[in-house]
Structure 1
């Protein structure tokens, strides 16, 4: 296959993730979670960072436990950072895709931390979401993400000032341990 065709060929894993996203949006959360977990088992912890980022980002939305949702969102952010740091120049579309996810990733993390009572971490990720959203186009996706950022910001402001989260022995704050 010619190099130009290679870059435009559909990604089978992303297509499969998209199919499960449609299942989830249709209301079958449990089946979507099971299928996402099956894909995660195929991809693995060291699979393609774009696949891991995308899958973990959507898998987080199927979790019942806020701690599990946070763990999957942290995995998604870690994979996005790996992708933007280490991706070869011939896969720029993956880097662009990860950068487009940053506002949503940080927004989800802010909401997760808020649900878990970690207000300072929620505010930190909300600021990062707002900063990353500046690069989004003024299209439906970009406007939707910015509106969600505004709603969370209003909710956080209404609930009072940030408080400290759990502290580490060295006095700093640390996220919870990631679980599979």
Structure 2
């Protein structure tokens, strides 16, 4: 069975490689369509990718926070998709806190990313997230607020 909403989300994400503003608009439209009662995984994925498309560290932090908050809905258990996504959500939030100079919170979020990394498979995605954790840890050790590719 296919997830049409997820297909819509990833189509919007792919627009980011062509036109960031168009991708932002498409993802914001999806965010609005999902509303507060939308599927937690869908809301988290949309917000996570909107964070990547922000022009400021503060904007990215806002959307990374929304992405993580969207994962946790009272009374709804985390599905496998969200469990596997948590390391990435915490990693992104750690990096956003680092970018705004909030190093203590960034370290805490990075520790959560590491703690959740055990759910990741030893595949390309898992290796990318683990490498990202190591990269952000290095940047945090230097207390860098520079924007760099992770």
Q: TM-score with structure 2 length normalisation? A: 0.89
| Structure 2: runs of 5+ lacking an equivalent | 145-150
2:72 aligned counterpart, secondary structure = helix
Matches within 5 A, 1:18-37: 18-24=10-16, 26-37=17-28
2:99 equivalent to 1:115: yes
Kept after mapping to 2: 8 A contact 1:80/1:99: no
| Aligned equivalent of 2:147 | none
Kept after mapping to 1: 8 A contact 2:103/2:143: no
Whole-angstrom CA distance in 2 between matches of 1:122 and 1:64: 20
Deviation digits for residues 55-90 of structure 1 (CA, Å, limit 9, x no counterpart): 11111111112222111111111121228x514xxx
Deviation at 1:158, TM superposition (A): 2.2
| Aligned equivalent of 2:32 | 41
Deviation digits for residues 25-46 of structure 1 (CA, Å, limit 9, x no counterpart): x232111001001111111122
Deviation at 1:105, TM superposition (A): 0.5
2:126 equivalent to 1:134: no
Select 1:105's aligned residue among 89, 94, 97: 89
Q: Report the more deviating stretch, 38-47 or 128-137.
A: 38-47
Larger Rg: 1
Where do 4+ consecutive residues of structure 1 move more than 2 Å?
Answer: none
Kept after mapping to 1: 8 A contact 2:9/2:27: yes
Whole-angstrom CA distance in 1 between matches of 2:85 and 2:106: 18
2:4 equivalent to 1:15: no
Whole-angstrom CA distance in 2 between matches of 1:21 and 1:29: 9
Whole-angstrom CA distance in 2 between matches of 1:62 and 1:158: 25
Whole-angstrom CA distance in 1 between matches of 2:25 and 2:33: 13
Q: TM-score with structure 1 length normalisation? A: 0.75
RMSD between superposed Cα atoms in Å: 1.6
Select 1:153's aligned residue among 127, 137, 140: 137
